[in-house]
Amino acid sequence: MREWIKSLDGLLRGEATKPDALKRGLIEVPAGGMLMLIAVLGAFYGVCMACFAAFNRPVADALMQMVASAAKIPLLFLLTLLVTFPSLYVFNALIGSRLTLRAVWQLLVATLSVMIAVLASLGPVVAFFSFSTTGYSFMLMFNVLMCSVAGILGMKFLLFTLQRLTTVFKEGSEPPKPVVSPPPPVVPASAPVPSAVAPSEAVPASSQTVAAADAATPPPFSPPALPAVPAPKGALEKAEDQVFSGDVMSIFKVWVVVFALVGAQMSWVLRPFIGAPGVPFTWLRERDSNFFEAVWNTFWSLLGA
Amino acid sequence: MHDFFQRADRLLRGTSLSPTWRLSFVYSIVFGLVYGAAMGCYSGLSEERWLQIVYSALKVPLLLLVTFGFALPPFFVLNTLLGVRDDFKAALKAILEMQAGVALILASLAPFTLGLYVSEVKYEFVILFNFSLFALAALSAQIILYRRYRVLIAQRAIHQKLMWAWLACYGFICAQLAWTLRPFVGAPDEPVQFFRENLGGNVYEVLGQMIVRLLT
């Protein structure tokens, strides 16, 4: 548990997404542990959210609502992840990014962890407003707002990390930049790679790169770092100037929007989270209408229209 | 004791040797108590009303500290996420000092409140007056906050945004908490109580409804 929290902390601090840490082309976080943390923190926010029910329902109902919300928030995030992950990976691979399946997965799990961490930090505020507010519409909009804040920050994390991965891949495909020496003669990037493979058998490529970068004097035959992902050479190497072409970035940008839409609608399917006053407890409500219509209506009812 | 006031003086002047963390909290509590007690004197010092003074006194530090507690976690996460976690100690010190400054300024304004109470004014005006003093204290304390934050902003421009984020978050929560903790002054014709029986709901809803009522 401590390790997981440390990893989450590293993610938030940006230590896990420093260029050095991304050398292998993925975020090094314990994905399983992160998922556990997502469950725990999500459950915490769920309980905070359901505090509203505590004032408008009989005790048994309120408790059930808390349990239900605590289970539903992690579920909401995980289901959204599961729904959107395959298509993201497929399009990502199709468009020719170097992210492996595992790298995409790690990236998304890390993004979700960041999102949930932000959300959980807002939990006490939500609990306080739940205790002191009687209006259901206000609480609904307030929770939507809090989730949007968390979502936007999480998505920013995703896009920034992707940008950092871009530079990592770019540096990985070029010779490490020497500190003082003039730029080395243009070497076809693919040429030295075979020669570098032999001595680096024992040492992982990434650590070699670090060593090469650390040494102030550029070694005469500094082996260019291997492409971070052991991908088939040739086809990929040609496109290395545009490892993450605009295409990949735009795929991710579209995905961010899709993720948000799916998440919103998923939350609608999984409702109730807060528990409307005067309505008996149910695990799920009937499936009708959609999230956006409901938020729109709530917004207007809040304004008294 | 001498040190206590000397450091308070330095807090206001922004010279070095600022108060320690603990002392910042102590200032928030002590000076908050002072102003709260003054505020609660409105309905007189008679035997049945003195409890209101105690309640009001307790409520001001409570308001400051609880708001601080609610606003801190998101602020912490946001700082971390934006990559300035290493400066968090300094940022925390800045916001704590600002809070202590609010209490200190409020306490210095307490005589005005007492003076007003002596001159027998209407309850509504008293509420408005106290609100203005809180606003004045909050605005003046920005000087303390900005003095500390200026150094941080010079290092990393993002601190500017974080400072505003803190103020927005703190203000947003503080307004609701203040509404929940009513009565601060205590209407003379109502019984003395710590909380109103009806907690009063959500301040933003109330405000929104007021505005709608005004417009329609």
Residue A305 has a pLDDT of 54
pLDDT at A122 over 90: yes
Contact A243, A98 (CB under 8 A): yes
Mean per-residue pLDDT, A46-69? 85
Q: Which of B69, B97, B18, B67 is nearest to B178 (CA)?
A: B67
User: What's at B39, amino acid-wise?
Assistant: M
Lowest mean pLDDT among A18-27, A28-37, A270-279: A18-27
Among chain B residues, CA nearest to A157: B81
What is each CA distance from B51 to A102, A260, B44, in whole angstroms?
A: 64, 52, 11
Rg (CA), chain B: 18
Between helix B21-39 and helix B88-118 the angle, nearest 10°, is 20
CA terminus-to-terminus distance, chain A: 49
Buried b (16+ CB within 10 A) or exposed e, B148-176: bbeebbeeeebbeebbebbbebbebbbeb
Interchain contact, B204 vs A138, CB within 8 Å: yes
Residue A184 has a pLDDT of 45
Among the ranges A23-37, A56-70, A112-126, which has the highest mean pLDDT value? A112-126
What is each CA distance from B89 to A6, A167, B76, B165, in whole angstroms?
A: 19, 31, 10, 17
- B71 contacts on A by Cβ (under 8 Å): 125
Which residues of chain B register pLDDT less than 70? 16-18, 197-200
Residue A124 has a pLDDT of 94
Contact A224, A175 (CB under 8 A): yes
Global ipTM: 0.71
Mean per-residue pLDDT, A127-156? 88
pLDDT at A289 over 80: no
Between A129 and A250, whose confidence is greater? A129
pLDDT at A121 over 70: yes
Lowest mean pLDDT among A55-64, A102-111, A283-292, B46-55: A283-292
Among chain B residues, CA nearest to A142: B204
CA dist., res. B155 & res. B74, Å (int): 22
pLDDT at A241 over 70: no
Interchain contact, A135 vs B71, CB within 8 Å: no
Between B41 and A249, whose confidence is greater? B41
- H/E segment holding residue B60: helix B50-81
Of B69, B81, B173, the CB nearest to A114: B81
Among chain A residues, CA nearest to B74: A121
Residue A174 has a pLDDT of 52
Q: Indicate which of A114, A118, A131 best probes the interface with B, i.e. most B CBs within 10 Å of its own CB.
A: A118
Between B173 and A28, whose confidence is greater? B173
Mean per-residue pLDDT, A119-135? 89
- A131 contacts on B by Cβ (under 8 Å): 180
- A129 contacts on B by Cβ (under 8 Å): 176, 202
Between B13 and A63, whose confidence is greater? A63
Of B74, B179, B212, the CB nearest to A122: B74
- H/E segment holding residue B114: helix B88-118
Question: Is the Cβ of A134 closer than 8 Å to some Cβ of chain B?
Answer: yes
Among chain B residues, CA nearest to A124: B70
Model confidence pLDDT, tens digit, residues A167-198: 777 666 654 444 444 444 444 444 444 444 34
Of A118, A132, A134, the CB nearest to B176: A132
Interchain contact, A302 vs B176, CB within 8 Å: no
- Enumerate residues 6+ apart whose C-beta is below 8 A from A186: none
Looking at the complex, report in whole angstroms how far the Cα of residue A11 sits from the nearest Cα belonging to chain B: 8
- A125 contacts on B by Cβ (under 8 Å): 70-71, 74, 173
Average pLDDT of chain A is 74
User: What's at B115, amino acid-wise?
Assistant: G
Looking at the complex, report in whole angstroms how far the Cα of residue A269 sits from the nearest Cα belonging to chain B: 27
pLDDT band at A254 (very low <50, low <70, confident <90, very high): confident
User: Strand locations in B87-169, DSSP E?
Assistant: none
Mean per-residue pLDDT, A249-272? 84
Residue A210 has a pLDDT of 41
Of B83, B180, B208, the CB nearest to A132: B180
Residue B162 has a pLDDT of 93
pLDDT at A209 over 50: no
pLDDT band at A206 (very low <50, low <70, confident <90, very high): very low
Residue A214 has a pLDDT of 42
- B179 contacts on A by Cβ (under 8 Å): 132
Residue B34 has a pLDDT of 93
pTM of the model: 0.72
Q: Which of B42, B26, B50 is nearest to B184 (CA)?
A: B42
Among chain A residues, CA nearest to B72: A121
pLDDT at A238 over 80: no
Interchain contact, B71 vs A125, CB within 8 Å: yes
